[in-house]
């Protein structure tokens, strides 16, 4: 059963990824069609086509490898001068000389030319105003961000956050000695039991101060070793006042810099009831924004973190649990969550958290201002708009549209780098994986 649950978790992550990709491409498709751009294909996956259907001029379908997706818009780039000239002569542009990268540029121009219906074609991407081009390219990442908000909202508001409440679930039998939780014959009784606190009691206040959750009650107790405290507890609908004196125990406290010190803290011996506490409706959006900041910090250091992941793979060192993962790693974690020995609601919450975090990663990663990522196309559109605004300011003729095919060599280098980093992460997730448990 554990293996079956693991497989189900992996499959659910693959399905979740496919849905995330479909929404991402829909975020591009809808505004592109709204603005009149001709869209030839909307595909989920890469490789051979498994199924497709043409509707309203667009072929919709699924491909064999569900690790991405794309839409093909007409006229992503303006036609090159050579193409305009050849079209005027009824021919086609020739192959550029100059080596490998020049050939790549020409291939990109030829592929772009095949999507154009003449030089006067108006249903093309490059003719859109700058703000519309930005909206089209921003639509994909924004869909991932909105999907993450929905998932976090289901997690936090629909299910809730596991919270230690003020209701007492259990009592310790004794005051533990340093380094052990077992009760010796000579160990004194725990203060809570000695004071008459019972499982099922709800702590209302301590020394006149109301407590909202167990964390607040614990903070008061730990800071009051040897000091008598007045507990007000609710038991079977009535409130009772009890006097409790926390015992003094030694415990290790970890500072922000990672160093540990031994301190004396108070101990009464109560264990809280853990419940799912539903959060306000805006908590999902807040969580999404917080995750954007955390993921952006990882993306900013991505090359260095991938390098360290590769070093850890070679040396066998333990990986940074907060480092980058491939889809293999995400699927593996999803499988671990599904196979965990915990209530089904906990596993559902874990899966939703993973899928939401994956969508935040897709949102941030696609905003990197490098082609072929969406952020690269946005940067090209903004540069085009800046050139036009500059020309208008100084009353110069409108400049020609920015020819992004000239950046194909840079795009090629970026693609190779992404493939290399992806390969490192996949190998690390197979042979030196991050584990939740």
Kind and range of the H or E run holding 204 = strand 202-206
CA distance 132 to 142: 15
Beta bridge partners of 263: 251
CA angle centred on 293, ends 290 and 296, rounded to 5°:
145
25 is catalytic: yes
CA angle centred on 338, ends 170 and 326, rounded to 5°:
125
CA distance 377 to 411: 11
Active-site hit among 25, 167, 182, 275: 25
DSSP 129-195: -HHHHHHHHHHHHHHHHHHHHHHHHIIIIII-EEEEEEEEEEE-SBPPPTT--SPPTTPPBPHHHHH
Token pair for 149: 């908000």
The answer to whether the CB of 175 falls within 8 A of the CB of 190 is yes
The answer to whether the CB of 310 falls within 8 A of the CB of 422 is no
Of the candidates 303, 309, 338, 345, the residue with the CA atom closest to the CA atom of residue 325:
309
The answer to whether the CB of 360 falls within 8 A of the CB of 144 is yes
CA distance 227 to 209: 16
Token pair for 385: 């708009």
CA distance 78 to 143: 27
**DSSP state for residue 121 in the 8-state scheme:** -
How many helices (H) does the chain have, and how many strands (E)?
Answer: 12, 10
The answer to whether the CB of 149 falls within 8 A of the CB of 284 is yes
Question: Catalytic residue positions?
Answer: 25
């Amino acid at each position: 059963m554990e293996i079956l649950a693991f497989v189900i978790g992996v499959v659910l992550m693959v399905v979740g990824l496919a849905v995330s990709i479909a929404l991402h491409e829909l975020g591009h498709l809808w505004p592109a069609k709204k603005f009149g751009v001709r869209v030839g294909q909307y595909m989920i996956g890469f490789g051979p086509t498994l199924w497709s259907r043409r509707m309203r001029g667009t072929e919709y379908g699924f491909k064999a490898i569900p690790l991405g997706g794309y839409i093909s818009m007409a006229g992503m780039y303006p036609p090159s001068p050579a193409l305009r000239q050849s079209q005027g002569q009824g021919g086609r542009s020739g192959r550029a000389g100059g080596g490998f990268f020049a050939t790549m540029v020409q291939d990109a121009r030829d592929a772009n030319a095949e999507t154009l219906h003449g030089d006067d074609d108006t249903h093309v991407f490059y003719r859109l105003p700058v703000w519309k081009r930005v909206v089209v390219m921003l639509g994909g990442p924004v869909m991932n961000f909105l999907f993450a908000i929905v998932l976090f909202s289901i997690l936090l508001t629909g299910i809730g956050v596991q919270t230690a409440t003020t209701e007492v679930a259990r009592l310790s039998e004794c005051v533990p000695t340093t380094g052990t939780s077992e009760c010796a014959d000579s160990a004194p009784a725990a203060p809570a039991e000695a004071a008459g606190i019972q499982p099922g009691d709800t702590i209302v206040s301590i020394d006149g101060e109301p407590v909202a959750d167990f964390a607040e009650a614990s903070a008061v107790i730990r800071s009051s070793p040897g000091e008598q405290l007045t507990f007000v507890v609710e038991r079977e609908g009535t409130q009772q006042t009890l006097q409790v004196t926390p015992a003094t125990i030694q415990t290790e406290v970890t500072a922000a810099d990672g160093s540990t010190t031994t301190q004396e803290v108070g101990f009464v011996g109560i264990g809280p009831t853990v419940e799912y506490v539903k959060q306000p409706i805006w908590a999902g959006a807040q969580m999404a924004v917080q995750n954007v900041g955390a993921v952006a910090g990882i993306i900013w250091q991505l090359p260095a973190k991938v390098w360290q992941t590769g070093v850890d793979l070679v040396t066998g060192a333990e990986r940074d649990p907060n480092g980058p993962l491939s889809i293999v790693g995400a699927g593996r974690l999803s499988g671990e969550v599904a196979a965990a020995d915990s209530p089904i609601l906990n596993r559902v919450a874990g899966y939703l958290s993973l899928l939401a975090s994956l969508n935040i990663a897709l949102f941030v990663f696609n905003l990197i201002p490098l082609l072929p990522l969406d952020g690269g196309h946005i940067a090209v559109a903004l540069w085009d708009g800046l050139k036009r605004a500059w020309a208008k300011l100084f009353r110069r003729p409108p400049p020609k549209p920015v020819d992004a095919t000239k950046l194909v060599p840079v795009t090629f280098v970026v693609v190779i780098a992404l493939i290399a980093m992806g390969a490192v992460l996949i190998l690390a997730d197979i042979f030196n994986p991050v584990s939740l448990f």
